[in-house]
Structure 1
Amino acid sequence: MTRLIALALIPLLGACVAGSQTPAPGTGASVAVPRAGARQPVPPPSRPRPVDTTGAFMSPRVMSLPGTDGVIGANAADLQRVFGPARLDVFEGDARKLQFSGEPCVLDIYLYPMRKGAEPAATYVDARRSSDGLDVDRASCIAALRRR
């Protein structure tokens, strides 16, 4: 009798296991679905980037690209003499971003101090089309936006 009851429970057990898997849409493959109350694996903690707490100065990388002369190394006042008033002027810590725009393109110029306590100077430029935001040649954008 006990064997008969055990044999009768096997299909019920199989139904429980089969019910915990659901086929992925359109694949026919089985995907394990966690049971209610089941513990999920915890991903390992990500390591944050180390922060310099010593206050040591880190010199910036300076872009070296043909057609950026007169821009790279210039300070904010020099850039505004070349391009006119900045559309955006954003400060973050000792860094600064100036944005100049016109019909053909938008030019972002990033300024960082070259040494501790120095005035920020342009170290990097990025350019994109005004119409759709796609990247454009930096030197061409600089040439197009220069104040006439």
Structure 2
Amino acid sequence: MKRFASVAIATMMLTACGAASAEPKRPQSAPVPLDKPAATSPTARTASSSKGLDAVMGKDMGTLVRMFGPPRLDIIEVQGRKLQFSGRACILDAYLYPDGKNGAEIVTHVDARRSDGAEVDRAQCVNALMAR
């Protein structure tokens, strides 16, 4: 009887492990142009133009505030900072980390999305926020 119980418990544990790994993976979303709704977005990831990104990459917090105004969020992390700027067209998250030269925090990465969460082209978002 003890052997049957241990086999039954082992079977249930293996079944539970198998069910957890069978979850379907969520597909990656493609960026949506700022002027089109998400339902008509292209399925392939569009290439970001670097014009808008050049305006923010490597810049410090003061420069970003002069460009976009006060950030919606200012999150200080252990080794860096996240600033969030928003407008009608998009939300931009700028990640600033020490540059290694003099320790000043500069933008090393940006993410962009619409208010409904749909991904947008980062350079277009920067350009849209600068135009407001």
Q: TM-score range by the shorter chain?
A: 0.5 to 0.7
Q: Distance in 2 between matches of 1:83 and 1:147?
A: 9
- Structure of greater Rg: 1
Query: Which aligned segments of 4 or more residues in structure 1 are displaced greater than 3 angstroms?
Result: none
Paired residues in the alignment total: 97
**Change over 3 Å in CA distance of 1:74–1:33 after alignment to 2:** closer
Q: Which residue of 1 aligns with 2:54?
A: 69
Q: Does 1:113 align with 2:98?
A: yes
Q: Which structure is higher in helix share? A: 2
Q: Point out the structure with the larger strand share.
A: 1
Which segments of 5 or more consecutive residues in structure 1 lack a partner in the other structure? Answer: 1-12, 23-30, 35-63
> Residues of 1 paired with 2:60 and 2:92: CA distance?
15
Residue deviations 1:88-142 (CA, integer Å, cap 9, x gap): 0111123011100111111000001111652100110000011x11111001111
Question: Counterpart in 1 of 2:79?
Answer: 94
Q: Which residue of 2 aligns with 1:32?
A: 11
Root-mean-square deviation over aligned CA pairs: 2.8
> Does the C-alpha gap of structure 1 residues 107 and 21 become closer, same or farther in structure 2, counting only changes over 3 Å?
same
5+ long unaligned stretches in structure 2: 14-47
